[in-house]
Chains A and B, each alone.
Chain A
């Protein structure tokens, strides 16, 4: 080192120092990349586990067990006067008809207690389904028809293998006797699994085989539609005012800080607010999509305002100057030029807010959405529940068959969330413009 010429010495030393540190720097970079990749892999692994678990538990809920029995539909029992009027046919004793069919198929069952067990193999909803069948096809009256009857949830569980047949009888919900009947029916080909339309067309029910998500879906739909209708215009309007028109002073600073804080407030607080203000003071009917939408609007507004302001900020000021420069008024500048450019960002924010609202449970518990509502709501003021609350309720139910239905409902909820996020991406692509 010391005998080098002064001119070349510093040059040489620099390159040596660079080379010496290069290895260390490269190693650091590699380490960081590997850590990043590992983090992503871990995340993906947990997502995969989550999906595998939910799908593994839930996919069976899309099928439902039915039992085929020859049902004697005697005219004397259903429509004795032969009037053919729907009213008379609807009033017939279909429960008795089904029970008779069961007795006829299992003539050896005579004891009162055994008979009761036999009757329980068929769902309590089966008579109503049979009635609907007969009403739809009155030609069946007077014949003996092979009818697929909806099985009880315990039978359903046995057929799907959710209840282990090898367990000792005392540890099993289904007794040996019933198991014997099921096996006999299976060997006769009288048991089948069909696509579970009930799950998508019915409201909730105490009986798992009759429980569906139609009510919760409709409730979620009305709630979200109204939430979007309220929060998007209000949020975008507030963002435009704050970003473009409001004077920058202490008050607007205070408002800005408060909006940012509101975005971080636990959602149940909004539920309490809704209970106290909307229901308590304004008397909005409880457990309706209307009050749910008002609460969720409050909850999503900060998200929408913040993302809309960010979208407005990202529009280059040169566009505003250009519009003002040709004599556009402030409002024209905003609506003709700034808003179209900011719209993709605003829509993304709104859809993220909506997805958040779709998955929200806690605030809705406070405003009565947890009520047990069987009817599918038909409007904004009908009592309703929403998907996540429905999942919460089902997860709380003791029946084994609700486990798979809970998972299935989660799958539906996730599907909607993925659809909404996809819509956000597509909308952004569609409206995105370059400048």
Chain B
């Protein structure tokens, strides 16, 4: 048994070393170059454990500046878990352990001395289900700047709320009813409100966990357009179940499979010429 596994590993690594386009069939080594020069976030040897269960096995991945990195893969492949490592959102889950190194601008975010609170102001997050606070639209956006003390006056805060809503493409729709409850908006508007809330604290990185899965196609199109615009100022990592969405919005794509990062590369290349059998099976719809 052991010999066969070793054999497979030896043969696949030989194939990789030869640098040929020969298809990788079984290896769980990442195919493609996971690093980018001048990365905003640099993840090395990430392992995530839920109790005794290992959810992510040694993932290396970089997130570049002003790029949209999409993460795709079948359900339970660890892409959301990986995303939640990037702003230490996994801290809130009992029995979850993360090992390895994640650096944000060269700073180790899992360092014991690092406080996750300011980290989450730098690495914002948009969730699968739109989750505005049950407060007014204004309060939703103003909450982050207020707790972090980003503004000194009411006028400054008003301006920040307006710019954030404008950047999220929501201003024209809500400017006359800023005091209306955020939960009264439509699903797509709520998600854009959540994006406005995230960018109000001027993060460097925005993490999006299937931001469009609860939205209709029109609202999805608006959000995708918005993601493309936001790329000018932020680094964005997006988890999505829709391969079309990954193809439309991202520059780089990472394919996860059962806790392994199987393949990563330029989005065009991943969708037109996948190197790994699993990636090909997934994007051609053979499973997943």
Complex contacts, B131 vs chain A, CB 8 Å: 316, 318-319, 321-322
Whether the pair A328, B127 counts as a contact (CB closer than 8 A) is: no
Please state if B127 and A327 are interface contacts (CB–CB under 8 Å): no
A328-B117 CB under 8 A given contacts A319-B131, A320-B92: yes
- Which of B32-40, B118-126, B165-173 interfaces with chain A? B118-126
CB neighbours (8 Å) of B121 from chain A are 326-327
Cross-chain contact A321 with B127 (CB below 8 angstroms): yes
From the candidates B126, B134, B147, B183, name the one contacting A327 in the complex (CB within 8 A). B147
Name the prevailing secondary structure of the A interface residues.
Answer: helix
- Which residues of chain A have C-beta atoms less than 8 A from B144's C-beta? 326-328
In the bound complex, do residue A327 and residue B94 qualify as a contact, i.e. CB atoms below 8 Å apart? Answer: no
Do B133 and A322 touch across chains, with their CB atoms under 8 A apart? yes
| C-alpha gap A434/B182 in the complex (Å) | 11
Question: In the complex, which residues 270-294 of chain A have their Cβ closer than 8 Å to any Cβ of chain B?
Answer: none
Known contacts being A326-B197, A435-B183, is A319 close to B133, with CB within 8 Å?
A: yes
Residue of A nearest to B94 (CB): A248
Write out the residue numbers on chain A whose beta carbons fall within 8 Å of the beta carbon of B194. Answer: 322
- Total residue contacts A-B, CB cutoff 8 A: 68
User: Is the C-beta of A237 less than 8 angstroms from some C-beta in chain B?
Assistant: no
Interface segment, one of A103-111, A142-150, A296-304, A329-337: A329-337
- Docked CA distance A325–B119 (Å): 10
**Which interface class (under 10, 10 to 19, 20 to 34, 35 or more) fits A?**
20 to 34
A332 touches B147 (CB 8 A): yes
Q: What per-residue 1/0 map shows which CB atoms of A321-359 lie under 8 Å from chain B?
A: 111111111001000110001000000000000000000
Select B183's contact among A247, A325, A326, A434, beta carbons within 8 Å: A434
Instruction: Flag if A321 contacts B89 (CB, 8 Å).
Output: yes
B147 and A325 form a contact (CB under 8 A): no
Contact A433 B134 (CB under 8 A): yes
Residue of B nearest to A247 (CB): B94
Chain B residues closer than 8 Å to A318, beta-carbon distance: 127, 129, 131
Contact of A327 with B201 at beta-carbon distance under 8 Å, contacts A318-B131, A322-B133 already known: yes
Who on chain B is nearest to A329 by CB? B117
**A332 CA to B120 CA in the complex, in Å?**
14
> Could you tell me which residues of chain B, from 28 to 87, have a CB within 8 Å of some CB in chain A?
87
Q: Which A residues lie within 8 Å of B117 (CB)?
A: 327-329
Q: Is B275 an interface residue (CB 8 A)?
A: no
Residues of A within 8 A of B (CB): 247-248, 316, 318-329, 332, 336-337, 341, 433-435
Interchain residue pairs with CB less than 8 A apart (30): A248-B94, A318-B131, A319-B131, A321-B92, A321-B127, A321-B131, A322-B133, A322-B197, A324-B89, A325-B87, A325-B89, A325-B120, A325-B126, A326-B120, A326-B121, A326-B147, A326-B197, A326-B198, A326-B201, A327-B117, A327-B120, A328-B117, A328-B143, A329-B117, A332-B147, A336-B143, A337-B133, A434-B183, A435-B134, A435-B183
